[in-house]
Amino acid sequence: MGTLYGIDGALLERQYRNHLSGYLHWDQLTHAQDWLLFEKNIGAYVCIDEVALSRGELYTILTNKAAHGGKGSIIAIIKGTDVCTVSSVLLRLSRRRRYQVREITLDMAPNMEQIARSCFPAAKRVTDRFHVQKLAYEAVQEMRVKARWEALDEESTQIAYAKACGRIYHAPVFSNGDTRKQLLARSIYLLYKKESLWTQSQRERADILFKEYPEIKKGYYLAMRLGLIYHQCKFKDVALTRLARWYDEVDKSGFLAFGRVARSIQTHYLNIINFFEKRATNAAAESFNAKLKAFRAQFRGVKDKAFFLYRLTMLYA
């Protein structure tokens, strides 16, 4: 714009910041880099999440679902994720407003649960389903990665042996053209997808993978069955029964990775089961985080945090 009108672009930017935007008269300027509160935006249904604002520096963001990611979405932006720090800021909100919150969705982070419990005691806490399912998918990937490292070690041994014998090593190839380590590396995406969504090449690769590694096959179907509980169950008591059966399957499998998943779910099961009342997720928070990152990308990063937050709140608070 500066080039178009024949003026200094840097000067125009400074003039806009200091005079035209109203930034210097912002009532929250003095504490903007540490916390921002917009009490008027509180609604009955809110979500809480963390986001990296700049250079990996985390901020806790509380948003109102009713705003659908538009004006009035931001309730609070607080630097850090520490329970005491975030809670001390949120407790500045009036008690009447905080008790208006009927439901708060969050991930499985213990600090977020403590914040929600202490600041919004009347709200029902709902753990986001996608974070629960992600744990199971990561357990399958852990099994795949472990098998891949074993395959790499075995191949290294075979190469060293062939070299010692004065021969050239040729890795065995499966029917789809993959070597063992390629098979395990290229299976990363199909293990995240439902079987019905596999392409023909993925189906062929999965058949070979599951034949060679039956434990990965069992882990994959354990993860898929957890997803089916969320997809098929409409009532809390039915979901609780299905989860109990899933725990039994995990115990019988003996997989350490899934044992950790089961223990995590057991720790948060009350919040997880609350999902089946209204099927509330934390998608609104994740969507808002994506908007924030896109807004940041437009300016190629954040040079002035306070001014960035001011512009953000002009759009979403």
How many whole angstroms from its chain centre is CA 108? 10
Q: Which residues of 185-215 are buried (b: 16+ CB within 10 A; e: fewer)?
A: eebeebbbeeeeebeeebebbbebbbeebee
DSSP E strands, 11-56: 35-37, 45-54
pLDDT (0 to 100) of residue 6: 67
Q: What pLDDT shows up at residue 5?
A: 63
- Averages of pLDDT over runs of 10 residues in the chain (317 residues) are 66 78 88 94 95 86 93 94 96 95 94 95 94 94 96 93 90 93 95 94 96 96 95 92 93 92 91 93 89 81 84 89
Helix (H, G, I), strand (E, B) or coil at 187: coil
Best CATH choice for the domain 9-128+282-316 from the list 3.40.50, 1.10.3470, 1.10.540, 3.30.420 = 3.30.420
Burial class (CB in 10 A: 0-12, 13-18, 19+), 27: exposed
Q: For 58, which DSSP code?
A: E
What pTM does this model have?
0.86
| DSSP label of 177 | S
Q: How far is CA 69 from CA 35, 83, 180, 313, in A?
A: 20, 25, 46, 12
Which pLDDT score is estimated for 233?
A: 92
At residue 1, the pLDDT reads 57
> Which pLDDT value is given to residue 2?
58
State which H helix or E strand residue 280 sits in: none
* Dist CA 51 CA 78 (whole Å): 10
Within the chain, all domains assigned CATH 3.30.420 are found at 9-128+282-316
